[in-house]
Structure 1
């Protein structure tokens, strides 16, 4: 019997879970999980997908694109307008690395904890 996996959660290591959860909450509009605290915070999407943020002592942020501290993972977010989404995310506290390998196809940003993430055009 073959089982099918359904993605239920994504968890990112960070120094300050509530701060990182607040950034992604403002960026996505997802609801803050009611049991969030300074050790572990999370956001929940209506379909049940959970994005978690866990405190790691001496967390070393990724140094993308330099691999001296690798990115470990990254998230992709579909958006209607990459330029408009980029402007909003930068205002919320994201940063835009100089290295942009996607050209016009996608944009790489980093969250306040240094994790790279991409914004990509929505597929209709």
Structure 2
């Protein structure tokens, strides 16, 4: 069996790739490298996986906290409270159910995909 060597891209199925890529571009500062009506991609930098967004006909948002989730993204942030506030201003929402017991925060992107923010390790 051949081993996987390197993760190159994580794709998010969505209704509007351009809009969702713009949200994550503002949230992360990553560079938009490709954008069409059906696909958009962000480059996280050398050696890091890209983040792609692909249009799916009749896409339905996942339901948090149950149903429809297949994966979610986690991000480390220097200032958790500030990051949450900034992302809420960009169009994220904060669901009532927060399982992290203040260790992390779950947000939903503008299309309803859950993602988590946790304090960056400052060692």
TM-score range, shorter chain: over 0.9
Report the CA distance between 1:58 and its aligned residue: 0.3
Counterpart in the other structure of 2:99: 101
Counterpart in the other structure of 2:46: 47
Runs of 4+ in 1 over 3 A off after TM superposition: 1-4
What TM-score, normalized by structure 2, do the two folds share? 0.93
Report the CA distance between 1:43 and its aligned residue: 0.3
Q: Deviations over 1:72-117 (max 9, x none)?
A: 1100000011111000000000000000000110000000011000
Q: Deviations over 1:6-33 (max 9, x none)?
A: 2211000000000000000000000001
Report the CA distance between 1:71 and its aligned residue: 1.4
Report the CA distance between 1:66 and its aligned residue: 2.5
2:35 is equivalent to residue 36 of structure 1: yes
Gaps of 5+ in 1: none
Q: How many residues align?
A: 121
Give the alignment's Cα RMSD to 1 decimal.
1.4
Report the CA distance between 1:2 and its aligned residue: 6.5
Report the CA distance between 1:4 and its aligned residue: 5.1
- Pick from 94, 102, 111 the counterpart of residue 113 of structure 1: 111
Distance 2:3 2:69 in 1: 30
